[in-house]
Each structure stands twice: as C-alpha cells, then as structure tokens.
A and B are shown apart, each in its own frame.
Chain A
C-alpha cells in the first residue's frame, strides 16, 4: 500500500476536497486565489529544480514566466490559437529561450551565474517593455481569451481551476520524478561540488542545461496559465521583484525540498492575502518572511532531509525499489 496512499491523498485534495469546498463557498475570489496559488506552485517547483536540487541560484526566473505569458498572449490574440495549443507552445518557446540562455552561462559558477541570470532576466524585461510593435510595450496585451482548449469550454471558475490543478499535478509529477531519482541524485552531486562531479565523469554542463530546459518549460506553462486566466499581461508582472518572490518561496519552503516548494508558494501567496486588511504589505511581508526564515530556519519550513524521507517512505520514489526493499543509505 505504501507508495499509493499518499499520492491518492494529494490527488483527492487537489481534485476533490479543494474544488468541492471552493464550489460550496461559491466565491470567484477564492477560486482565483486557488488558481494563483497553483500557478505559483508550478513556478516554485520549477525553480526548486534549478536552485534547490541542481544548486544554480537563478535571479531571473520571472523572465521565463513572462516569455510563456507573452507567447500565449500573442499566439491567442494575433493568430487566434486556442489554449490547447498556446499552453504547450508557451512551454516550448520558454524552454527554447532557457536552453539558448543556458548554453553560454552554464559554465559560470555560483555568484557569477546568479548575476548573469539577473542580467538576462532584466534584458528580457527591457525587451518586453520596449519592443512596442510586437509586445505593445508598457500598455500590455489585453483581451486574452479564457481557457477553451480544443473547444472544451473551461472558462467557468471550476473548469479553470480543474485545468490548472491538472497541469500543476502534472508539473509536480515531472519534478518529483526528476528530483527523486538517481538523476536527481546526480543533480544534487552537482550542487554539492560540480568540480568533483565533473571529475567523477558526470556530464556537468549537459545535466545543467537539461535541468534548465525542464524548469523553464514548466515556467512557460505557468506563464501561459497566468495570461489566459488574467486576460491581460504587462511587462511589470515579470520583473526582478517577481523572480525574488519565487526565490523566496523556494528558500522559505526549504532548498531542495519538493513539498517545501509547495508550502512556500502557498504561504507567500495566501499570507499576504490574509494580511490585506492592514493595507498593501505583500512585498514587505515577503521580505520579512524571507529574512526571518534565512535567519532562524536556514533549512526552510520543510527541510530537504525530512522531505526526502517523506518521499522515500510515502511516495514510492525511484530509489526505494531495491529488490528486498531495504532502505538505502545510512540509517
């Protein structure tokens, strides 16, 4: 039974309890909040893969999210593509940019890589802002059609929620299978010491580029979902501050921990909403939570070791399955 119950529970919450509760509340605002939280779960999961698991601190993740959103916006408003095509297309375009950016920068280490991604992220922002004939610049692109993939009308709050939840579950599955496997262990080896990993014969640069491609693909999909559900995209939504928000989710949740990324995303989206009564303190709250977390909980709310233990026991991760089902590693 192990390896079945916990995934079933996640599935039940995502597709049973949450939508039932939200429908019972019947509030568009709550549905919207759930959608945004799930979109940011996809973003934080994808960043967790780069920053937490592979150890590449990126400060420009929002740019890929923006590329995805603009791809979806332009394809659906100019060419009339429906959401069934724009969502995968956004992922692919974003992953293409991810690989193009990764090729020259992946040889940089630690702080140099962080700075390069900051620079590239701002370059993409400046381009979105100034290429007025293509992106309409600071005006943004409006009237993006809601989600109607392949003729199915999912533009109702429940339909939108279910589609986003399905894609978020898919993203979770992908990140889970990548991170909790021998492949994921290889990425952790890069994080700990990439020179050593290189000396052991691991193809360091190729692994980093592959990880970057997967993560930017997911970020692009999150962007497309944002564009279709908001109906309007604007360069200001994909700036440095947004990258920092996603980074804060990963750091608060716990670097390297997949459940942590979800906890972090939920906390940093829902807590500022709960604090809305005392004024616009969203970014201030993000900064404070991040600082307190780094200071007092350097491993995050859901540290990597706890998370790996949980995943190994409950989610049937790839390295559980030795023939005798003996736990691997030190006990």
Chain B
C-alpha cells in the first residue's frame, strides 16, 4: 500500500504531531494567562525550564515514583508561577481604573518585567547547573523510549505519554474553567476585570490562581519533554516558548482550543519543512506563520467573536 518513502513521511508526520502537542502543552498555560490579564508572560518558557530542573532534582535526590514526580513538579511550577506573579506582575497592577488597566504603559511594563525576570532566572539556573545539557538518569528517561510498533510505524512510549498528558491537561483545564468556582471567577476576570470586582470577585486571588494553574501545566510539560528528550538545559524554554506564543497568536490570543489546534498545525508544518528543507530552515516556519497571521488575520484564525478563555 505505502512504499518506503510514504511510510517515512507518515512517521515524520507522527513525530511532528507529538512536537505540536509539546507546543500545545506550553501554549495552554500561556494562553490562559494572556486571556485573563491581557498581558504577555515572557517568563513562561522559564517556568517550563524550572519544571524540568525541579524534576531532575527530584529524580536525583528522591527517586520518587511517577505520580509523586509529577505532583512534585506540579507543586514547583505552582510555586514558581505565584512567585513570578508577585514579582513581575503584581507591582504593576497598582491602579484600579479602567483606563490604566487597559493602558499600553501597563502592558508594556509587565512585558518588560517578565522579560527581565526570565533573563534573571535563566542566567541563575545557568550559574548553578552550568549551561550544558544535563542528562536525565536512564532509569526514568528510558521508560519514555520504548517503541510501540503499529504495523510498519513505530511510536515511542513518550509520544503516547505526551498525548495522554495533553488530553488530561486540556480536559482538566476545561473542567476547572467550566465547572468550578475558581474557574467561574477566572472567566469573569478575563471577560471584564472591573465588572468582576464590582460583583465581589477577588481579582487578586483569581489572578494568582490563573498563574498557579498555567504555570503548573507549563512545569509538567517541561519535565515530560525533558524525560522524552533525555536532556535538559537552561535555555530549553526559549524555543517552545516562542512556538507556543506563535500558536497563541495564530489561535486568536485568548482561545485555548484555537491555540492547541494551531500548535499541532505548527508541529506538523515544521515536520514537513524539516523533511524538505532541513532542520535549520524549519525554524523559519513558526516565524513565517507568525508574521503571515499578524499581517493577514490580525484577530487570529480562531479569534473573532469568541468568549475569552
């Protein structure tokens, strides 16, 4: 039915799909935070990196079972997210009126402060652990590489784990947003922060909860990818961070399903581009998509007229 080339190509598409899921895992947290605060969190890639390093430390010193490992990383991510919010975002939410909440100055100062925090965090990790790749101990990393053969195609168990994690995270997030009180207040703040405040929603606590949820997911994504790829390094957050950002913009800035779909499209497109143009040029795909989206679909592919978050 398939000749060799086609099988190879389908294999590449499967790999691209799992890369896309990686971007989607990062993009979910990114989009959640943007949807609520309407500001870009440039330090999200660093949360992802912190998740990977927290996981490595846990593995080296505690060697916990899988569930405990994921919970520890989740806790580290939540702590990092809350600390980030306190340091880089809270100081700039000092005004309450509508004009300053929407002002360019506030958006740009949080953008710059999260950027500055991300530099400080990345460089500090580099000073502590070194700039080099750190290998994840084999006992854990190998579990992600078991091949699962489906006819002529092979899928690594890590790819299945990433798919499962993406599905679980997406479902959990939808459950939190649609079925819990905190989700209700997150959606309220996303729709209108002042209105939410007038009807008694604690905006400050809601924002912290948003950061906790988004950062927890980012950190878990970090350790999953670290395990799957077998190595982690301080700058690992930059590329997925930028790609997740592109997915968010393509998806329309505050649509989580849109961001997930666009992240997968991006992963597939990169796999195809790698196939035809080589690894180096494939990095261009994300940026080309970004610029084309911004120029031709300024509201994103899925953005117009949807409920935020």
A positions within 8 Å CB-CB of B? 55, 57, 104-105, 108, 110-112, 114-116, 118-120, 122-123, 126-127, 129-130, 240, 244, 247-248, 251, 279, 281, 283-284, 286-288, 290-291, 294-295, 298
Please state if B294 and A112 are interface contacts (CB–CB under 8 Å): yes
Contacts of B281 in A (CB 8 A): 126, 130
**B107 adjacent to A284 (CB under 8 Å):** no
A119 touches B246 (CB 8 A): yes
Q: Which residues of B contact A (CB under 8 A)?
A: 40, 88, 91, 104, 107-109, 111-113, 115-120, 123-124, 127, 238, 242, 245-246, 249, 278, 280-281, 283-284, 286-288, 290-291, 294-295, 298
Answer whether A116 and B112 are a contact pair too, CB < 8 Å, given A126-B284, A287-B123: no
Known: A115-B249, A115-B294. A57 touches B120 (CB 8 A): no
Least distance between B255 CB and chain A CB atoms (Å)? 16
Known: A283-B119, A286-B119, A295-B91. A122 touches B287 (CB 8 A): yes
Which residue from chain A places its CB closest to the CB of B39 in the assembled complex? A111
A125 to B294, CA, bound (A): 20
Contacts A119-B290, A283-B119, A298-B109 supplied; 12 other A-B pairs, CB < 8 Å: A105-B294, A105-B295, A112-B249, A115-B40, A115-B245, A116-B291, A116-B294, A116-B295, A120-B287, A129-B280, A284-B119, A291-B113
**Whole-angstrom distance between the alpha carbons of A286 and B112 in the complex?**
12
A-B pairs with beta carbons under 8 Å apart, 23 shown: A105-B291, A110-B104, A110-B108, A111-B107, A112-B298, A115-B294, A119-B290, A120-B287, A126-B284, A130-B278, A240-B238, A247-B112, A279-B127, A284-B120, A284-B124, A284-B127, A287-B123, A290-B115, A291-B117, A291-B120, A294-B109, A294-B113, A298-B109
Shortest distance from the beta carbon of B40 to any chain A beta carbon, whole Å = 6
The CA-CA distance from A179 to B88 in the complex, in Å, is 31
Q: Are B123 and A284 in contact (CB under 8 A)?
A: yes
Q: Are B116 and A287 in touch, CB under 8 angstroms?
A: yes
A298 to B246, CA, bound (A): 29
Q: Are B283 and A244 in contact, CB atoms less than 8 angstroms apart?
A: no
Shortest distance between the CB of B300 and any CB in chain A (Å): 10
A244-B119 contact in complex given A111-B111, A114-B111, A284-B124, C-beta closer than 8 Å: yes
Are B294 and A126 interface neighbours, CB within 8 A? Answer: no
Q: Name the CB-closest residue of A to B34.
A: A111
In the complex the two chains form, is B280's CB within 8 Å of A57's CB? no
Which residues of the other chain, B, contact A286 by a CB distance below 8 angstroms? 119
* A295-B113 in contact given A126-B283, A284-B123 (Cβ < 8 Å): yes
Bound Cα distance A290, B112 (Å): 8
A228 CA to B119 CA in the complex, in Å? 30
A261 to chain B, nearest CB (A): 16
How far, in whole Å, are A310 and B54 apart by their CA atoms in the complex? 51
Q: How long is the Cα–Cα vector from A111 to B39 in the complex, in angstroms?
A: 9
Give every chain A residue within 8 A of B290 (Cβ-Cβ): 115-116, 119
Tell me, rounded to whole Å, the shortest Cβ–Cβ distance linking B54 to chain A. Answer: 21
Residues of A within 8 A of B123 (CB): 281, 283-284, 287
